[in-house]
Structure 1
Amino acid sequence: MSPRNRSLARVPYLIVGLYLLTAALGPLFVDYNPRVTSVMQRLLPPGAATGAGQVAWLGTDALGRDVLAQIVYGARTSVLIGLATVLVSAVVGLVLGLIAGYAGGWLDAVLARCFDVLLAFPGILLAIVIAGILDRSVFVVVLALSVTAWIPFARVARGSALSTRERGWVDAARVMGVGSLATLKRHILPFTAGPIVALATLEFGLVVLAEAGLSFLGIGLPPTTVSWGQIIAGGKDYLQTAWWISTLPGIALTLLVVSVGLASDQLSERIKLSR
């Protein structure tokens, strides 16, 4: 790979890292209260001066709230929900997938059919039903998105366990009397970690997009929790007169999801080449 291509390959990682840094440290430098509104400062264009002598670099929304501050706080919400959902899904899927693939027999057949049945249901529809029934909170959104998000992890872990359990070192561990749990941990899990990490990167972007969809529909997070989906929904009626309210958070969301997808593809290629 040429130096130019290597530099371009780092761009998705840099963008994702910038989002993570913004989510972690951005709110420390941005003063924002979602309950505070200002009728006199509503629908200010990007770069306009506010009544307090400050500059609304990305404009204000219909309630006079700073769009840049909302995007920064929305990044924290999206990253938090994305990481929590991926972590829960990866742990559940990894455990069930390894058990199914290593045990084999009837247990593998039953679990595999359960994976297939659950995968047949549209994940976003199940998330909408769960989020619509339960109270609006971060925990409920993570629960709703995790209902089907663990299945890809389980399928990947199962396939890796099936292809690894017949290897010579696994048979040697059994002959030496190594327990099943220790065999899974020492001789099968390391070969599953790479694909799981690549899948987790991809799922992170999909979860962020799904969370924005739930918030856009008004069934995700409460109004006091800032979300990119809520910001976009709040500006959809002002696209002709105040395009920045929905457009700029939409660009931020798109850039993150695309960058995460590109980073996931690169990780997958590196894992294939390393085998």
Structure 2
Amino acid sequence: MSGAAVLPRRAAAARRWHRGVPARVPYVVIALYALMAVLGPLVIDYDPVHTPLQDRLLAPGARIASGEIAWLGTDALGRDILAQIVYGARTSLTIGLATVLVASLVGVTIGVVSGYARGRLDAVLARIIDILQAFPAILLAIVIAGVFARSVPVVVLALSVTAWISFARVTRGVALSLRERAWVDAARVMGVPVRSIMVRHVLPFTVGPVVALATLEFALVVLAEAGLSFLGIGLPSTAVSWGQTIANGQQYLETAWWISTLPGIALSLLIINIGILGDQLTARYGQRRGRI
């Protein structure tokens, strides 16, 4: 092969690689957040109850009484902002993953059964979904979180109550389109049990759309958890949350902007990149779904 033929191919490969670089940014950012959530607390020691008032309202880069540097400053109680961001990342990712897992399991099960069975069962489940959708999701979460004592399981429950609806609607649509396919009809004719048909011939086709939806729901859950914590009805005071940190600094925006601004930036970056990743996955699996 001549060098003249190799150069255009290399140039085309380079162009494809450069076009793909922006698409990889969300993966890198989310991976960094995950590493921070997993490894950060092992490196940074932080006690949310300890309040060293002698270090209160220090600017980013200032030295605290122990001689260490507060790289992102301290809040009104002397607590380190960097540590709160790191521990808040663990809290947000844990609650987000737990909520999406619960919501997807419930929603996928209901959606597949409803879409495949149809009839009265589908009508009843559809009415339940309509009733839950009549209430604003965040309002229902506030009511549930306000009734029970503040804890991580209560927040997961409050956010899962309506999060499963999206998974149920997506998987129901996939099941409705698949139940009349030739391979599903062949399985019914051969006497394959209904449960096996749903698990082997319907459920695998829901994986792509569910994964794409899970990324978008994850971003909404993280944002909703921060909102609940901002209102003071989410997590207990012993837990670290970006929403709590932002709320603690709202009265110091003019004199100590870093208390609310820096956790807000961390939250915004995570939400934006998860949203971009969700859009990419939706576009990819949406095209595949159209070819089913």
Which residue in 2 is equivalent to 1:257? 271
1:191, 1:120 → 2: CA distance?
29
Using the TM superposition, give the Cα deviation of residue 38 of structure 1 relative to its aligned residue in structure 2, in angstroms.
Answer: 1.1
Q: Does 1:239 align with 2:253?
A: yes
1:114, 1:147 → 2: CA distance?
12
1:272, 1:140 → 2: CA distance?
34
2:233, 2:284 → 1: CA distance?
39
Using the TM superposition, give the Cα deviation of residue 3 of structure 1 relative to its aligned residue in structure 2, in angstroms.
Answer: 1.8
Using the TM superposition, give the Cα deviation of residue 35 of structure 1 relative to its aligned residue in structure 2, in angstroms.
Answer: 1.1
1:233, 1:47 → 2: CA distance?
22
Which residue in 1 is equivalent to 2:8? none
State which of 24, 40, 46 in structure 1 corresponds to 2:60: 46
- The correspondence of residues 1-275 of structure 1 with structure 2, limited to 5 A, is 2-274=16-288, 275=291
| CA offset digits 1:116-142 (Å, max 9, x no partner) | 221121010000001111000000000
AA aligned opposite 2:32: L
2:235, 2:176 → 1: CA distance?
40
TM-score by length of 2: 0.93
| CA offset digits 1:97-150 (Å, max 9, x no partner) | 111000011111111121122112101000000111100000000000011010
Q: Is the 8 A contact 2:108 2:168 kept in 1?
A: yes
| CA offset digits 1:8-60 (Å, max 9, x no partner) | 10001111111111111110000100111111110000011111111100000
Runs of 4+ in 1 over 4 A off after TM superposition: none
Q: Is the 8 A contact 2:56 2:74 kept in 1?
A: yes
How many percent identity over aligned positions?
Answer: 67
| CA offset digits 1:66-88 (Å, max 9, x no partner) | 00000000000000000000000
SS at match of 1:258: helix
2:54, 2:187 → 1: CA distance?
73
Using the TM superposition, give the Cα deviation of residue 272 of structure 1 relative to its aligned residue in structure 2, in angstroms.
Answer: 2.7
RMSD over aligned Cα, in angstroms? Answer: 0.9
Structure 2: tracts of 5 or more residues without a match: 1-14
Which residue in 1 is equivalent to 2:4? none
Aligned residues: 275
Using the TM superposition, give the Cα deviation of residue 271 of structure 1 relative to its aligned residue in structure 2, in angstroms.
Answer: 1.1
1:222, 1:248 → 2: CA distance?
22
1:149, 1:20 → 2: CA distance?
22
| Rg larger in structure | 2
| CA offset digits 1:189-210 (Å, max 9, x no partner) | 1111100000001000000000
1:238, 1:272 → 2: CA distance?
46
1:163, 1:112 → 2: CA distance?
17
1:186, 1:195 → 2: CA distance?
17
